[in-house]
Structure 1
């Protein structure tokens, strides 16, 4: 059985995505403790929480002037990688750094490359199954005013990576807001230990929690219209 301190650390590391409603925290907790029933975590008020390490929640925009705004007006930034047993998760935040309103709808377009810049044969999924089971909001229009952001969650299973050569590690991730859109290259901290023939699950873009204000003061997030017969 996994020691209780480790269970708390894993749960706390995934807490930001629990608050966003994507259910990753519960999934990571189940990975670490498959035989234990789901319970509500307790943190003693007068005791500092244990170091949570890397959290997969959405990250805020870079500091002003840190990175020039791309011509598309959308900037991608990777979150921290969270691990629980064989399951990995990371968020990617898309920020409107331009002057006008931008809109995203659906799933990101992703390619993975190794240290030698060679393309991996990774299967990128629209959704998270069969990699894992977690909530996916599905395609919907998300309108972003300047400074606002949306995020997607990436999930994968660990595959052996050569420690010295980093063979099997996805060092560079090329990601665009949608298929056919310009991609930006991000370098996740530590890379994606996904192997060269793995599967990468994704969730549809959804608004970052910090941009959710009163209902009357933010742009509407609309579900994509259903196709006939769906």
Structure 2
């Protein structure tokens, strides 16, 4: 009987020892974890673009944007290039446009221009803005005219032939009104435009 109690006590002590040993075990260290946070960039609306044919126009001021008079488009304008001065290898002319419609329309800005040959194919043209004058709102009643100053050089720039035409001669020009994309045609019978077709053009004025 005593022996049986001793065996039971021994088993109990061994069990407690095992439990105590388990309780003192420290958990194995876990390797550090790397957390990657991906941010979704805030979506912003793209800036509005301004279309104006072959060249971008500056944004119209509020007074112009609020004007309810329609723009002068290619179907309501006709044009002619009027001869001007010629001095020291420079040519100065005016592009005159007329409102051929039955209602008033407006022009604001520089617009575009592309020289062409007799077949209508493009010839070298580099239209640059010359703010002389700069943009202002031009209102044209039916039959009224607006003007755009044009200037170019007649002397080769050093990369062009010095004998014969400096560039292929032009016979016409496609004129794109400000803020429009379609052109109307005018006659251009002034020969070659040197410096790879570089033309300085003012804004339209009255």
Question: Cα deviations across residues 142-196 of structure 1 (Å, max 9, x unaligned)?
Answer: 111111110001100014589988952222111122253421221223x242137
Kindly tell me: are residues 120 and 159 of structure 1, through their superposed partners in 2, closer, same or farther at Cα, counting changes over 3 Å? farther
Q: Distance in 1 between matches of 2:119 and 2:155?
A: 18
Alignment of 1:130-141 (within 5 A): 136-141=132-137
Q: Distance in 2 between matches of 1:92 and 1:124?
A: 13
Match in the other structure for 1:105: 108
**Matching residue of 1:34:** none
Deviation string for 1:48-105 (max 9, x for gaps)? xxxxxxxxxxxxxxxxxxxxxx972211111014311111011011111111011000
Report 1:136-215 matches (<5 A). Answer: 136-159=132-155, 168-189=168-189, 191-195=190-194, 197-207=196-206
Question: How many angstroms apart in 2 are the aligned matches of 1:119 and 1:159?
Answer: 21
> Is the radius of gyration larger for structure 1 or structure 2?
2
Count of matched residue pairs: 130
Structure 1 residue runs of 5 or longer lacking an equivalent are: 1-69, 129-135, 208-230
State whether residues 94 and 147 of structure 2, in contact with CA within 8 Å, keep that contact through their aligned partners in structure 1. yes
SS in 2 for 1:197: helix
3-state SS of the aligned residue for 2:78?
strand
> Cα deviations across residues 89-146 of structure 1 (Å, max 9, x unaligned)?
1101111111101100000310012345432232110117xxxxxxx12111111111
How many angstroms apart in 1 are the aligned matches of 2:74 and 2:114?
Answer: 20
Cα distance, 1:100–1:153 mapped onto 2, change above 3 Å: same
SS in structure 2 opposite 1:98? coil
User: Pick from 123, 126, 134: which aligns with 2:126?
Assistant: 123
* Bigger relative CO (Cα 8 Å, ≥ 6 apart): 2
| Equivalent in the alignment of 1:77 | 80
CA distance in 2, matches of 1:110, 1:87: 19
CA distance in 2, matches of 1:168, 1:154: 19
Query: Equivalences for 1:1-80 in 2 at 5 Å?
Result: 72-80=75-83
The 1:183/1:72 distance shift into structure 2, 3 A limit, reads: same
The alpha-carbon distance between structure 1 residues 142 and 115, as it changes in their structure 2 partners (threshold 3 A), is same
Contact (CA 8 Å) 1:168, 1:196: kept in 2 or not? no
TM-score, normalisation: structure 2: 0.55
Give the superposed CA RMSD.
2.8
